[in-house]
């Protein structure tokens, strides 16, 4: 796994298959699609920033890179994508094997070009705050103080505007509660959609094409005008997953269509919609998702504007520190690749520019039918999932011109964007991956399989299909994919389950799939549509290691017997004299075993002679603080005790190897569930894979 991490550090990319199945049939047989998770602006201090314009191929417009073949005598370079011969311009005359420009250095597969041409004055960033005033005074107070802090942190040259909305929309400078009375059996009149439409049009008139963000602070559901999600009558509940599945949420499709139109307007203008949704009930994140995701906006979901999840996230949004976001604007992302590779699409925060090219696959996944995408907002952690098609047919005439000698596929990713300092930049990443065809390459495919990247891609794919395909069965789809993969790449004697084994390169993948089946991405009925939309948006914008934590949380044990150590995500990890630290990305849980909890309540940590107990309590708290400090949005922290009501945050994530029909060891715990345990899951998988 470490070599895949090294590639990610250098180029910001993780691929499911680092040796690529060479033909269409081979790729189909591999089950997990040839895909990449790419973080265009991943910070890397060793990336050179070049103060000149890039050199482009005159045929396919790809950029000069370390894989270009150079004739130093004739001053010609050959493009690895289309094999076009290109002459170097005059200012490259001095190049030789010992005098290379940075973009030809073999280690600089990612470079950045900084525009030096006179582009006029740098446009200041624009922040338009759209603020809900249909809330109780206490919530408005929390929001006021958070916004006052945020405005202090804005860059000095920023332009700032305020729109408030309740029953009416106002462009104002003062924040006060909506004055309209609300009957006891009614919801407030809240016209969220109208306010966001006004904000989008205002930016379109005032600052089209320059970096601007609408930052919406919403404290309840929209009940008035376009984009409404529920009526004003409190007797009508807000739509649930069950209502959406049955088609009994009459306002849902109209609201989604309305926000789709807003997203098109914002993408056209180059502007971003960020959403801070803070309420105990749903506010309509599920409907607004399309506008936030397609403009590359940020979403924060909390229970109150007074909650640390909101306050700390808003502060982190603007703060300059090692963990800041480096917000960038107005991006365009382009892909070029070898002619036998086609692009199905991207799952992530972007919008297809419908620039159909010979590289576009007929099969569309996510934002497809193009080789260029708009990214209105992007930051240092924005990650895209690129899904490819291998178009190469079997047979002797399938080898492309100039390709037979190399057995390499080439990929180039170009990201044009407005840097957070204001100037336009272009980041170019060029990769080469070997391909193998036929049954002789199976071991090479296994050696190049990145099971973490594959889990992250499968999670994005299953979430996308659940949203896009009617009557889609996610569990069945994941199970069939896993059985096919194990059948193809496992070692076994036919019809003998006990003989089944997987290479270490594949051995954790079934565990990822087991946890993905049980995760909030697949078991959506445990959450509201707003929560599901939030979880999916976060999954679709994060890198591989963060996605893996969302799918399969990490669990660390602290005890007197040993230092902090990772333990299996299993109910057997619970012991009376242990503290467990669970990181499930959205929530960080510190769980005290019953004995530890009793000692803590008795105050032993403050007594002389019990310093080691005080240190034991402190260690997981420090680790939790470190996790929270570097994550955005800030996760929720839950501190709980064994058998306490909040212990459910931990128990829900654990493998139920001990359940009501299989009693625990003394001091352990039991999970009351009909879910199968991982062992039962593996037994079934082995039996089905060897048939």
pLDDT in tens, 415-426: 999 987 778 999
Mean pLDDT of the residues in the chain: 92
3-state secondary structure of 236: coil
> Could you tell me the pLDDT band of residue 659, with boundaries at 50, 70 and 90?
low
What is the edge-to-edge ordering of all strands in the sheet holding 69-71?
Answer: 69-71, 76-78, 85-87
List the structure tokens of 201. Answer: 């049009």
pLDDT tens digit sequence for 185-222: 999 999 999 999 999 999 999 999 888 999 999 999 99
- Asked if pLDDT for residue 681 goes beyond 90, the answer is yes
More confident call, 121 vs 88: 88
Q: What is the DSSP letter of 66?
A: T
**Which domains, and CATH codes, for the chain?**
32-115+326-394+406-437 (2.60.40.1670), 126-318 (3.40.50.410), 553-654 (3.40.20.10)
Q: What is the DSSP letter of 400?
A: P
> Could you tell me the pLDDT band of residue 667, with boundaries at 50, 70 and 90?
low
What is the edge-to-edge ordering of all strands in the sheet holding 341-347?
Answer: 13-15, 35-38, 384-390, 341-347
Predicted local distance difference test score (pLDDT) of residue 414: 98
Predicted local distance difference test score (pLDDT) of residue 665: 60
Q: How many CB atoms within 10 Å of residue 291?
A: 28
Predicted local distance difference test score (pLDDT) of residue 661: 55
- Asked if pLDDT for residue 175 goes beyond 80, the answer is no
Beta strands in 309-407 (DSSP E): 328-337, 341-347, 351-352, 372-378, 384-390
Instruction: Average the pLDDT over each of 416-430, 503-517, 585-599 and give the range with the smallest value.
Output: 416-430
**Burial class of residue 248 in the structure, from the number of CB atoms within 10 Å of its CB (0-12 exposed, 13-18 middle, 19+ buried):** exposed
Predicted local distance difference test score (pLDDT) of residue 124: 84
pLDDT tens digit sequence for 129-155: 999 999 999 999 999 999 999 999 888
pLDDT tens digit sequence for 612-633: 999 999 999 999 999 999 999 9
Predicted local distance difference test score (pLDDT) of residue 401: 39
Which is it for strands 384-390 and 341-347: parallel, antiparallel or unpaired? antiparallel
List the structure tokens of 423. Answer: 């100037």
The whole-angstrom separation of Cα 557 and Cα 668 is 14
> Could you tell me the pLDDT band of residue 321, with boundaries at 50, 70 and 90?
low
Predicted local distance difference test score (pLDDT) of residue 293: 98
More confident call, 34 vs 664: 34
Average confidence (pLDDT) over 377-402: 78
The whole-angstrom separation of Cα 430 and Cα 57 is 14
Average confidence (pLDDT) over 562-576: 94
DSSP codes, 596-657: HHHHHHTTGGGSTT-HHHHHHHHHHHHHHHHHHHT-SSPPEEEEEETTSGGGHHHHTTSB-S
Q: How many CB atoms within 10 Å of residue 598?
A: 14
3-state secondary structure of 215: strand
What is the edge-to-edge ordering of all strands in the sheet holding 126-132?
Answer: 169-171, 159-165, 126-132, 212-218, 271-278, 299-302
Average confidence (pLDDT) over 360-369: 95
> Could you tell me the pLDDT band of residue 400, with boundaries at 50, 70 and 90?
very low
- Asked if pLDDT for residue 62 goes beyond 70, the answer is yes
Predicted local distance difference test score (pLDDT) of residue 662: 58
Q: How many CB atoms within 10 Å of residue 441?
A: 18
Contact of 536 with 520, CB cutoff 8 Å: no
CA distances from 260 to 332, 346, 395 (A): 20, 18, 45
Percentage of the chain modeled with pLDDT above 90: 83
pLDDT tens digit sequence for 467-487: 999 889 999 999 999 999 999
Q: What is the DSSP letter of 468?
A: H
Average confidence (pLDDT) over 428-442: 91
Average confidence (pLDDT) over 387-391: 95
Instruction: Average the pLDDT over each of 218-222, 491-495, 576-580, 663-667 and give the range with the smallest value.
Output: 663-667
List the structure tokens of 687. Answer: 């039996």
Predicted local distance difference test score (pLDDT) of residue 318: 86
The whole-angstrom separation of Cα 291 and Cα 272 is 9
Q: Give the containing element (helix H, strand E) for 60.
A: none
Q: What is the distance of C-alpha 174 from the center of its chain? A: 36
Angle between the N-to-C axes of helices 474-489 and 678-689, in degrees from 0 to 180, rounded to the nearest 10: 60
> Could you tell me the pLDDT band of residue 396, with boundaries at 50, 70 and 90?
very low
> Could you tell me the pLDDT band of residue 295, with boundaries at 50, 70 and 90?
very high
Angle at Cα 457 formed by Cα 82 and Cα 585, nearest 5°?
135
Predicted local distance difference test score (pLDDT) of residue 155: 82
The whole-angstrom separation of Cα 524 and Cα 521 is 6
Instruction: Average the pLDDT over each of 290-294, 324-328, 459-463 and give the range with the smallest value.
Output: 324-328
- Asked if pLDDT for residue 664 goes beyond 70, the answer is no
Enter the pTM of the model.
0.94
> Could you tell me the pLDDT band of residue 533, with boundaries at 50, 70 and 90?
very high
The whole-angstrom separation of Cα 463 and Cα 469 is 10
Q: How many CB atoms within 10 Å of residue 328?
A: 23
Best mean pLDDT range from 119-128, 308-317, 435-444, 661-670: 308-317
- Asked if pLDDT for residue 404 goes beyond 80, the answer is no
Q: Nearest Cα to 385, choosing from 29, 3, 25, 40? A: 40
């Amino acid at each position: 796994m470490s070599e895949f991490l090294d590639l990610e550090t250098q180029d910001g990319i993780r691929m499911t298959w680092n040796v690529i199945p060479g033909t269409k049939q081979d790729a189909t047989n591999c089950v997990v699609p040839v895909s990449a998770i790419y973080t265009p602006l991943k910070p890397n201090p060793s990336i050179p920033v070049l103060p000149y314009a890039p050199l482009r191929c005159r045929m396919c417009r790809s950029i000069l890179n370390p894989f270009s073949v150079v004739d130093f005598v004739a001053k010609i370079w050959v493009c690895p994508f289309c094999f076009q011969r290109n002459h170097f311009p005059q200012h490259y005359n001095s190049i030789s094997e010992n005098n290379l420009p940075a973009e030809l250095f073999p280690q600089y597969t990612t470079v950045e070009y900084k525009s030096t041409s006179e582009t006029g004055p740098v446009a200041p960033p624009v922040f338009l705050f759209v603020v809900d005033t249909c809330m109780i005074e206490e919530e408005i107070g929390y929001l006021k103080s958070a916004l006052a802090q945020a405005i202090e942190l804005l860059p000095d040259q920023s332009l700032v505007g305020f729109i408030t909305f309740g029953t009416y929309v106002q462009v104002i400078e003062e924040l006060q509660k909506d004055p309209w009375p609300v009957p006891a059996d009614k919801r407030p009149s809240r016209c969220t959609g109208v306010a966001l439409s006004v904000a989008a049009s205002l930016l379109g008139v005032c600052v089209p094409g320059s970096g601007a963000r609408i930052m919406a602070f919403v404290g309840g559901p929209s009940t008035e005008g376009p984009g409404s999600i529920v009526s004003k009558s409190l007797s009508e509940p807000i739509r649930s997953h069950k209502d959406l599945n049955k088609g009994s949420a009459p306002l849902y499709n109209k609201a989604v269509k309305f926000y789709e139109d807003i997203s098109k307007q914002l993408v056209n203008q180059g502007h971003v919609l960020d959403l801070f949704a803070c309420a105990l009930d749903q506010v309509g994140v599920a409907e607004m998702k399309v506008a936030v995701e397609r403009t590359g906006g940020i979403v924060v979901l909390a229970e109150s504007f007074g909650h640390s999840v909101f306050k700390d996230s808003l502060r982190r949004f603007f703060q300059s520190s090692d963990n800041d976001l480096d917000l960038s604007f107005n991006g365009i992302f382009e892909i070029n690749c070898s002619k036998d590779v086609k692009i199905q699409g991207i799952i992530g925060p972007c919008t297809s520019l419908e620039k159909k090219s010979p590289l576009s696959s007929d099969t569309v996944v996510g934002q497809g039918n193009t080789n260029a995408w708009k990214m209105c907002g992007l930051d240092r952690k924005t990650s895209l999932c690129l899904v490819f098609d291998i178009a190469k047919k079997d047979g002797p005439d399938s080898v492309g011109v100039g390709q037979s000698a190399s057995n390499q596929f080439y990929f180039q990713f170009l990201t044009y964007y407005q840097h957070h300092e204001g100037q336009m930049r272009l980041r170019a990443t060029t990769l080469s991956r070997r391909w193998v065809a036929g049954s002789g390459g199976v071991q090479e495919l296994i050696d190049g399989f990145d099971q973490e990247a594959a889990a992250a891609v499968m999670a994005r794919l299953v979430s996308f299909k659940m949203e896009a395909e009617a009557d889609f069965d996610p569990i069945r789809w994941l199970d069939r994919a896993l059985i096919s993969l194990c059948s193809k790449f496992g070692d076994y004697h036919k019809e003998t389950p006990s003989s089944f084994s997987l290479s270490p390169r594949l051995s954790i993948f079934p565990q990822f799939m087991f946890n993905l089946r049980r995760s909030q991405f697949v078991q959506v009925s445990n959450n509201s549509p707003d929560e599901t939309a939030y979880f999916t948006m976060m999954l679709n914008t994060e890198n591989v290691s963060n996605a893996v934590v969302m799918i399969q949380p990490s669990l660390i044990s602290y005890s007197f017997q040993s230092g902090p150590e990772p333990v299996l995500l299993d109910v057997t990890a619970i012991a009376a004299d242990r503290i467990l630290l669970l990181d499930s990305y959205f929530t960080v849980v510190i769980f005290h075993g019953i004995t530890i909890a009793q000692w803590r309540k008795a105050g032993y940590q403050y007594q002389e002679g019990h310093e080691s107990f005080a240190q034991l309590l402190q260690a997981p708290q420090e680790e939790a603080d470190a996790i929270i400090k570097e994550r955005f949005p800030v996760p929720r922290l839950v501190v709980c005790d064994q058998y306490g009501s909040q212990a459910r945050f931990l128990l829900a994530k654990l493998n139920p190897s001990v359940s009501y029909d299989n009693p625990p060891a003394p001091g352990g715990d039991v999970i009351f569930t009909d879910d199968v345990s991982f062992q039962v899951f593996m037994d079934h998988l082995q039996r089905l894979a060897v048939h």
